[in-house]
Structure 1
Amino acid sequence: MTEHQVWRKSSYSGANNNCVEVSNLPNATAVRDSKHPDAAVLVFPATKWTAFLQVLKEKNI
């Protein structure tokens, strides 16, 4: 990750901050726990992330 990485939370996140944040990378998406931003980050290839989001949309999640 870079020091200028831009992270964003879902618009569905509540006030309790129990959510994840995502950041776009070249050909991938990074995901981290918003409560522990300095902890480990998961990185998913763009194709896998897009497939994951498509399933969520199809299931109305």
Structure 2
Amino acid sequence: MTEQSAPQAMQSELEMAPWHKSTYSGTNNGCIEHAALPSGRHAVRDTKDRTLGAHTFAPTPWQAFVTAVRDGSL
């Protein structure tokens, strides 16, 4: 998966994003958050330090990643 396939999300889009914490996260914030952005891109950030920013992905590579995780091929 690469971030180079589409323009990066604007900072305001990330700040206004509806972030969702992984249900696999423990109480120590040792996991990730995901947001589906209005632009169609997907963003992922670390719950331990949200100030580090987020990685953004175009829809097609994101869906390929999700599919690979679900079917166990990753």
Q: What TM-score do you get using the length of structure 1 for normalisation? A: 0.84
Residue 55 of structure 2 corresponds to 42
Please tell me whether residue 21 in structure 1 is matched to residue 33 in structure 2.
yes
SS in 2 for 1:49: helix
Who is 2:22 aligned against?
10
CA RMSD of aligned residues (A): 1.8
Structure 1: gaps (5+ residues): none
Q: Distance in 1 between matches of 2:49 and 2:22?
A: 16
Percentage identity across paired residues of the two chains: 36
Unaligned runs of 5+ in 2: 1-10
TM score, norm. by length of structure 2: 0.71
Which protein is richer in strand relative to its size?
1
Higher RCO (CA-CA < 8 Å; seq separation 6+): 2
Whose helix fraction is larger, Structure 1's or Structure 2's?
A: 2
